[in-house]
Each structure stands twice: as structure tokens, then as C-alpha cells.
Structure 1
Amino acid sequence: MRFWAPFARKPGYMRLPAGPLYDAGSPAPYKSLYKTACVALVVLVLSIALNCYLLFSNHERWPAAFEDFQQLKDYPLLNRSLVPTSIYHPNETAFVTTLYSDSYAPAVAALGHSLRKTNTPARLLVLYFPDTVSQKALCVATASGFVPQPVARIAPPDDGRGMNPHFADQYTKLALWTLDALPAPVRAAVYLDADTLALGALDELFAQPYALAAAPDVYFSTDVNAGVLALHPDTALHAAMRGALALARFPREYAEQAFLNSFFAADMLRLPLAYNGNIALKKRAPRVWAALRAQMRVIHYTDTKPFISHSWKEVPLDRLHERVRAAGRENGGIFKEEMDYWEVVWRDTLATYSDHLSQC
């Protein structure tokens, strides 16, 4: 026991007799402590597992009405006799989309054609980045009638930390609220993501009186999706939004959509799902999708996009049909009908605006 020798010579040190650390007939403090620690560890692990389940399952959880959906009604989506007349001149209303890269140019052109088919008198505006969008892509995007409007990029808060890099430009959507400052002001706007198509008239949305109206997101029961927005541009409100951007508490991974849900949490109008037919709904709640499809006003290509590669790169126009067919085979072919429909609209766009497109 050479190790203990130095301690044996210290003043006051008393060498204890050899033997077991504790009496076998008495309670075992170390065994008891070990058992307690094991129980505590099991409880901790179970608690963490339960909280993780509740947290992540809640992200994907559907409202009960969607989970057990029944088609119980048979009436039109909109009673047009009750639609208020917009107080704005048609030139003060606009359908707006965005173009941040060349890869979305054909999608913008197809969206414009689908809007023109509804015979809307409203203007069509595309907000674009002049330093990242080529003249060729802008030519393609504006073929169906969108008027280009250059905008400066609005950077995400926190230098983009915690967000999906594919959403890094999406905060520029806040520039929608500055359209009242154009030489020809926009008083009422309906924004549509470039990966949407109009299936029917949407002009009644210009008459809605609230600061923002949007349809629920298919992943949540209360939050709205930012792919289709009805709003009234207001530069003062835009300034307030920009000031709140760094202060607002919202999950950064959901980018501008989460911010808008936070900023307008108490006074946002929820639109019917038919105004934002997110194709993810077809996969997650097929009976709801089937019930909505006949009166759907907008189809939103979220899960699978027929015009862009998996690496988010531009697809040449002469190979778009290949991409559409590949997209139709993805996800077990569940979205083939929707992909085929986009191709029909795209082919009609090519035929209708062939003179313009030939100059691109």
C-alpha cells in the first residue's frame, strides 16, 4: 500500500482496519444511490422521448377535421351576389409574383398565362433582382404580360442563421407593402408564388378589407401559408415590419412565412384552402384535396416542382417536358395529374406567346 503511505504519516491520520467498506447486514448506501440514479435516468430518458414525440408529431399533426374528413356540404365556394365591389380602379389592383433567379422564369410565364385566362382587368407585376436575373430570363418571365419591377433584396435577420438557404431571398416579399409608392400606386394586391397557377378568378380578393389575408398552411391548423397573400400595400406598415423583423420571435427556419404569422398573428384573415391548393394536401389528406379540387382557385406546387431540377438549377426550355415527366414519377406518382396539368398550361403559354418568346 505504498500509495497510502504519505497519508499515513500526516498528523491526525488514523489507519482504518482492513475489511468491507460497509457492513453486509446494514443498508448499502452506494447500492441505494446507484438504484436511485438508474431510476432517475430512466425517468429522464422517457421524459425526453415523450417531449420529442409531442414536439415533432405536433409539427406534422393535422386538425381532427382533416384526419376524419367528411364531405358534408354541397354549395359553391363563393356567393358572388354577396361579393363587395372593390373601391379601387382596376389599374390600382395587381397580381404580383417574384423572380429571384433565372430558374423560375418559365414558371412566372405560365402563372401569367393562367391569370390572363381568368380575364382579370388587374395589372400583373413581377418583382425581380436586376443583378441576379438575366435579360433572357426576364424576357421569358414577362412573355405572358407581367410587367417587371426591380426591387432590392431584403436580407434575412441574424445573417440568415437557422434558416433553410433556399429561403434566403424570401424576406424580399415584404417589399409588397411598398407598392403604394410606385408612380402608378397599387392599392390592393394579390401575391402568388411563382410555383402556382390560377385555376379560376381571384379578383374578389382585392375587396377584402384586412391588412393581410391568406389560406392556412397544410402542416398547421392555425398558421397560414405565404404562397398566396391578399394585402393592401402601405409603406408605413412596411417600415413597421422592417423594424420588427430583428425583434420578432419566430422560428427562423420558416423564414418570411413564420415572420408574417408572428407579425399579423392577431388580425389576419384566414382564406379558404381553395385559394392556396398546396399539393402537399393531396398526399397528407387526400379526401380533403378531392373535396376542394373542383372549386380550387390556385394550385401550389410545393412538394414537387415541374419546372426546376432537384438541385434547384434552371431547366432549359427545350427540356422542360422531360422534367415534367420525371416530376410526375416522383412520390410514387401521386402528383402526376398535377404535373401533367402544369405542362398543358406551359405548352399553351408557348403557343400563345410564341412571337415574344422567340425574341428571348
Structure 2
Amino acid sequence: MWEVAQRIRGRLAGWLRNPHQDYTPLWSDASNSRPLSRKYVLLALVLIGASALTNVILYGKLAKRWPGPLDNYQPLTIQPVVNDDFLRTRSPPLNSSENAIVTSLYTDSYATAIATLGHSLNRANSTASRILFYLPEKISPRALCIATATGFIPRAITRIPPPHGGKGVYDHFMDQYSKLNIWTLADEGYKGVVYLDADTLVLRNFDELFALPYNFAAVPDVYVDGMGFSLGFNAGVLFLRPSTEVFTDMLAKIDTASYNMHEAEQSFLNHYYGAEAVRLPYAYNANLAIKKRKPELWADVKREARIVHYTLVKPFLKEWDNSGKTVVEIRRMESNVQNKLSAFGGMFKEELLDWVGIWKETRRTYADVLTVCSGASATLPSS
């Protein structure tokens, strides 16, 4: 039957090209006549339609049966994320004075998070300089003292307001465009920058990022809803080559570019770099949303994670409050984390205990400095 359909399909194509030509029957039966050709045309249409419908149904089922490789994750590869042999033989070696790790402080409630992040960087032995961007009009002397207790150098920056008066931007992202000030570090001689959101924690050294030959790199984002694993990147961890020219160009295009305003600077950067952004492995931004989306994938990501990103639950903020409006006092931080262990059904207990463990080290190691911070003067330290 399939061969007949194919023969009819060929005849049909010829007939459609010249419907007035003499019809040559498919079989050498002299009884076949011109009127019979219409029957073959109808038969061909039926067979072709049935074939197409079968393909649609078959491939539709296959498409639904096989999810993407991340939602269908399997621990197959035996290669680590980083090739250590290559790193040991690279030349020239990194120049630490040209590299910087930057984070930002826009509200007092994140000060203890940055102190903990700084200590985690010390534990990982990163060689880069440490810079803390902060908004002087929004940060108290006490919070700045706590945030810089573990090694970050404070740097006052000018707030970059959201375009269009902030219309459409989520309230907790209103200050996030100020992050673009990172590109101005070119004026100070920095050639490589890794930006870390304050709600990250460093587990392993990631200095290899500074050897990347690219201008911009980030880790693909993950959503717990239907969007799932995205090609768009998360702006909580960025690698970039600073450029004053790029900074000026960004400011000129924030208002005119078309993008989803809800996610503020993250959405803008995704559109600004688009296809030019290098996608890094999840190990450099181990977003807790990965664990919520696919625990099996998280198990492998966590084993090699350099940086964990506390997106879904923030241990340093008041219980059930991710807005950052309430400051958790140092003496209450451990009990605050304990109150969050049951969040999401206890899914993130291990990661919360990781964070509080490093926080305890931070508090012990820098006890004298943190005590001084409690009586910080009303004058902000100079940048």
C-alpha cells in the first residue's frame, strides 16, 4: 500500500503541474480511463493525509516522552568541570592586582551576608581584590562596618535609577541597576571582575574565571515553574571585562531597549549581551532553584559547586521575609537560620546549615571587629 501511495503521489504531482495532460494509468490495465484518475487523486490525498497525521501523532508522542536532558538528568559524565592539568600549565600566571571580586550592599539587612561571603572567600584562598559597592544614602555606618569586617573594601557608588520611574520593576529590584557601575572599574586598571550577589556563598576557589578570554560570562537561569531551565542567564554571578565605553553605552540604552522590566538589570543584561554571553557551568552559580527543580541534578552540581546562590531561601533575612526590610541582629542569626530549616519542606536544610556553619566561623574569627561595629560612629568610612 505504501508503494502504491508513493506512485500515486508522483502521478499527482505531475497532474498538478499540468492538469490537462493525458493521464497515464498506474497499472497497465486498458480498462483504466481518464475519469478514473480522479479516484486515484482522492485516494492519494487520503493516503498522504493519513501518513502526515501518523507522523504528527508519532513524533508528538516522542517529543512528550523525552524531556530535555536536564529535566531528564542522569549522572553520566566522568569529567570534572575544570581541567586542573591545563590550569597548572597555563602561561602567563594570573595578575591578582588586575582582578577584583565585587559585591553590593543596598540595604542594611544584607550586611551579615556580605561578612559571611567575605569569610568564605578567605577560606577559598581567592587572590583577587575585594570591593564592596554600597549606596551611602541607604547604608548605616554599623552595617557598612559589619559588611567590611572580613576583607571587602568599601566603595561608595552613585545609584542608577530604574528607567521609566521604575514602572514594572519589582520593588526589591529598584536599586539593582546600580550594579552596572562594575563596568567603571576599568578606570582603576581592573581587567577582570567576578561579581557576586550578597546572597551567595563561596565553597571553592574560582580564580580560573579570570583567565577567560571573553568579555562577559554568566550561568543559565533556572525557574521552578514551567519555564524550567533557561538559556537566559542569572545576574547573581557574573564574569566581565570592565569597560567605560560599555558602561556609557549601557546607560544610553537602558531607557530605549525593549525588555521585561520585572527582572530589572538581569533582563537588560540578557538583552544587551544576548548571543554574545558565554554560558558558564552551574557550578559557578549553584542556584537553589536547581534543587527544587531537579534534586538529582543538584546532587552532582553541589559536588563541584564553587558558588552557591541562596535564591529561594535567604538564611540571613527574617523568617519568611525575603524583602530585606527587617535586620536580623548578629546575636539572633543562628536561631533565625534554625527557624528556616523547615522551609520548602526542609529541602534546603543542608545548604542552610552550610551557610550558618561559615557564619559561626565568621563570628568567631572576626569577633573583635564585629564588636567594634556595634558601636560604629555615625560617620561612614571613606571609600
The two structures share one fold, judged by TM-score above 0.5: yes
| Contact 1:92 1:188 (8 Å CA) reproduced | yes
| Contact 1:85 1:207 (8 Å CA) reproduced | no
Residue correspondence of structure 1 range 270-285 to structure 2 within 5 A? 270-285=279-294
Residue aligning to 1:82: 86
Q: Quick check: 1:232 aligned with 2:247? A: no
SS of alignment partner, residue 127 of structure 1: strand
Provide the C-alpha distance between the structure 2 equivalents of 1:276 and 1:121, rounded to a whole number of angstroms. 19
Residue aligning to 2:187: 181
Provide the C-alpha distance between the structure 2 equivalents of 1:279 and 1:152, rounded to a whole number of angstroms. 31
Q: How many residues align?
A: 297
For residue 80 of structure 1, report the CA deviation from its aligned partner: 2.1
Decide which of 339, 353, 357 is 1:340's aligned counterpart.
Answer: 353
For residue 321 of structure 1, report the CA deviation from its aligned partner: 1.1
For residue 85 of structure 1, report the CA deviation from its aligned partner: 4.5
Provide the C-alpha distance between the structure 2 equivalents of 1:109 and 1:93, rounded to a whole number of angstroms. 20
* Cα-to-partner distance string for 1:237-288 (whole Å, 9 max, x where unaligned): 1001111111111100011111000000021110001100001111111111
Residue correspondence of structure 1 range 1-360 to structure 2 within 5 A? 64-83=68-87, 84-85=90-91, 89-182=95-188, 185-219=189-223, 220-309=229-318, 310=321, 311-312=323-324, 313-360=326-373
SS of alignment partner, residue 217 of structure 1: strand
Q: Which moved more, 1:126-135 or 1:88-97?
A: 88-97
Provide the C-alpha distance between the structure 2 equivalents of 1:88 and 1:205, rounded to a whole number of angstroms. 10
Amino acid at match of 1:190: V
SS of alignment partner, residue 98 of structure 1: strand
Provide the C-alpha distance between the structure 2 equivalents of 1:78 and 1:145, rounded to a whole number of angstroms. 27
Amino acid at match of 1:320: M
Provide the C-alpha distance between the structure 2 equivalents of 1:90 and 1:224, rounded to a whole number of angstroms. 27
SS of alignment partner, residue 294 of structure 1: helix
| Contact 1:96 1:192 (8 Å CA) reproduced | yes
Provide the C-alpha distance between the structure 2 equivalents of 1:151 and 1:278, rounded to a whole number of angstroms. 27
For residue 86 of structure 1, report the CA deviation from its aligned partner: 6.2
* Cα-to-partner distance string for 1:174-199 (whole Å, 9 max, x where unaligned): 000001123xx221100000000111
TM-score w.r.t. length of structure 1: 0.80
For residue 63 of structure 1, report the CA deviation from its aligned partner: 6.8
Provide the C-alpha distance between the structure 2 equivalents of 1:160 and 1:348, rounded to a whole number of angstroms. 39
| Contact 1:88 1:187 (8 Å CA) reproduced | no
Provide the C-alpha distance between the structure 2 equivalents of 1:347 and 1:288, rounded to a whole number of angstroms. 29
TM-score w.r.t. length of structure 2: 0.75
Provide the C-alpha distance between the structure 2 equivalents of 1:98 and 1:63, rounded to a whole number of angstroms. 38
* Cα-to-partner distance string for 1:52-87 (whole Å, 9 max, x where unaligned): xxxxxxxxxx97112111111112110023244467
Change (3 A) 1:197 1:85: farther
For residue 89 of structure 1, report the CA deviation from its aligned partner: 2.2
Provide the C-alpha distance between the structure 2 equivalents of 1:239 and 1:118, rounded to a whole number of angstroms. 34
Provide the C-alpha distance between the structure 1 equivalents of 2:157 and 2:267, rounded to a whole number of angstroms. 22
SS of alignment partner, residue 214 of structure 1: strand
Provide the C-alpha distance between the structure 2 equivalents of 1:206 and 1:137, rounded to a whole number of angstroms. 30
Change (3 A) 1:255 1:63: farther
| Contact 1:63 1:221 (8 Å CA) reproduced | no
Amino acid at match of 1:266: A
Unaligned runs of at least 5 residues, structure 1? 1-61
SS of alignment partner, residue 247 of structure 1: coil
Amino acid at match of 2:269: L
SS of alignment partner, residue 235 of structure 2: strand
Unaligned runs of at least 5 residues, structure 2? 1-65, 224-228, 374-383
Residue aligning to 2:59: none
Residue aligning to 2:28: none
CA RMSD of aligned residues (A): 1.4
